[in-house]
């Protein structure tokens, strides 16, 4: 009985953290929208540097008395790749908000379940039921509808097609980051994983900033506040919750729950910025969500032989 209660409490803890984390992530585009007159690379760098700095005391306090384990070089490499991908994902995602609506960017960046299925099929050689591929095709067609609808709103947003493309690219990068995280997290606790990953993400964003902007950039007080908010909320509380849960919950289920994020972001965008997508955009979003829901019925049927 005690074991059952402990298991139920652990599940409740994981799902509670996931819910709060997804709500925190939902604030991300709202905060970014406030500083779209600043460099997207600067915003991404500020966010990731703050996230890394905030975790320093937690990391050293957590690992001070923890037993040391031997870590193979390959694991360090995977952690570095994961951090680089997270940095690139954030650069693309933040940049997309500069060019398109929060609703469109938020929907498209959550298409990574579709990317995961494609990777699992062609890289890991898994096969899926036909309903899954129907969902993939439906989501793809919804993306085309959304792209067509948003192409007619250049007067409202500077370059919707570019913004939508960056959101899709961010989704593709996130899929790779998520797969690596699911693999590495099995051997590390939460802080042992996110601390170095956030460090590499910050380094990636800073290098990208220096390449694009040089050393002449200026950091305003507003960027500092927004960067701190993005670090504490969406990244540490939001992505941190996902990184914690990925050890206990399947990536597919987490990807399912993440779909609530664009709904939250779109609602907040309406109240904060009066953003109302075009009717055809709503249709495209609904088609994408329908396709993703169908893919969540996915079960790996078998692993094809080489």
**Chain segment 69-96, per-residue pLDDT in tens:** 666 788 889 999 999 999 999 999 999 9
Residue 15 has pLDDT above 90, yes or no: no
Rg (CA), the chain: 19
- How big is the CA angle at 300 (ends 297 and 302), to the nearest 5 degrees? 150
Q: Which of 232, 227, 199 is nearest to 34 (CA)?
A: 227
Report, as an integer, the average pLDDT of 210-234: 93
Question: What's the pLDDT score for residue 267?
Answer: 80
Q: Quick count: other Cβ atoms within 10 Å of Cβ 62?
A: 15
What is the C-alpha to C-alpha distance for residues 36 and 34, in angstroms, rounded to an integer?
Answer: 6
How do the domains of the chain map onto residue ranges?
14-64+71-113+161-273
What is the C-alpha to C-alpha distance for residues 63 and 171, in angstroms, rounded to an integer?
Answer: 32
Q: Quick count: other Cβ atoms within 10 Å of Cβ 213?
A: 14
DSSP state of 110: T
> pLDDT exceeding 70 applies to what percent of the chain?
86
Question: What's the pLDDT score for residue 9?
Answer: 46
Taking only the tens place, the pLDDT of each residue in 23-50 is 888 889 999 999 999 999 999 999 999 9
Question: What's the pLDDT score for residue 294?
Answer: 79
In sequence order, which ranges of the chain are alpha helices (DSSP H)? 2-26, 28-34, 40-63, 73-99, 102-109, 112-122, 130-150, 160-184, 190-213, 221-230, 240-245, 251-258, 260-273, 279-295
DSSP secondary structure string for all residues of 137-157: HHHHHHHHHHHHHHTT-TTTS
Q: Quick count: other Cβ atoms within 10 Å of Cβ 105?
A: 31
Beta bridge partners of 122: none
DSSP state of 265: H
Residue 6 has pLDDT above 50, yes or no: no
Question: What's the pLDDT score for residue 70?
Answer: 65
Assessment of whether the complete model's pTM goes beyond 0.75: yes
Question: What's the pLDDT score for residue 286?
Answer: 87
Sorting pLDDT into bands at 50, 70 and 90, what band is 22? confident
What is the C-alpha to C-alpha distance for residues 134 and 48, in angstroms, rounded to an integer?
Answer: 37
- How big is the CA angle at 103 (ends 298 and 151), to the nearest 5 degrees? 105
What is the C-alpha to C-alpha distance for residues 198 and 203, in angstroms, rounded to an integer?
Answer: 8
Question: What's the pLDDT score for residue 155?
Answer: 62
């Amino acid at each position: 009985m005690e074991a059952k209660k402990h298991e139920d409490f652990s599940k409740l803890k994981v799902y509670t953290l996931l819910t709060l984390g997804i709500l925190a992530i939902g604030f991300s585009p709202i905060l970014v929208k406030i500083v779209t007159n600043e460099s997207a690379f600067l915003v991404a760098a500020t966010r990731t540097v703050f996230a890394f700095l905030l975790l320093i005391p937690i990391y050293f306090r957590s690992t001070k008395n923890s037993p040391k384990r031997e870590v193979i070089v390959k694991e360090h490499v995977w952690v570095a790749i994961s951090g680089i991908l997270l940095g690139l994902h954030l650069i693309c995602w933040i940049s997309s908000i500069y060019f398109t609506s929060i609703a469109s960017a938020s929907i498209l960046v959550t298409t990574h379940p579709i990317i995961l299925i494609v990777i699992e099929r062609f890289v890991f050689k898994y096969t899926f039921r036909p309903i899954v591929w129907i969902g993939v095709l439906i989501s793809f067609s919804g993306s085309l509808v959304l792209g067509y609808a948003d192409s007619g709103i250049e007067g409202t947003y500077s370059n919707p097609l570019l913004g939508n493309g960056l959101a899709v690219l961010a989704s593709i990068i996130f899929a790779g980051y998520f797969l690596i995280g699911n693999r590495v997290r099995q051997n590390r606790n939460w802080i042992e994983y996110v601390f170095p990953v956030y460090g590499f993400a910050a380094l990636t964003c800073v290098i990208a900033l220096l390449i694009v902007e040089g050393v002449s950039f200026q950091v305003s007080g507003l960027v500092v506040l927004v960067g701190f908010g993005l670090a504490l909320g969406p990244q540490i509380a939001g992505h941190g919750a996902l990184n914690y849960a990925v050890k206990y919950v399947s990536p597919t289920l987490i990807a399912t729950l993440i779909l609530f994020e664009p709904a939250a972001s779109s609602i907040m965008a309406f109240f904060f910025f009066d953003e109302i997508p075009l009717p055809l955009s709503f249709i495209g979003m609904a088609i994408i969500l329908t396709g993703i829901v169908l893919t969540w019925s996915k079960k790996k049927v078998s692993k094809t032989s080489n």
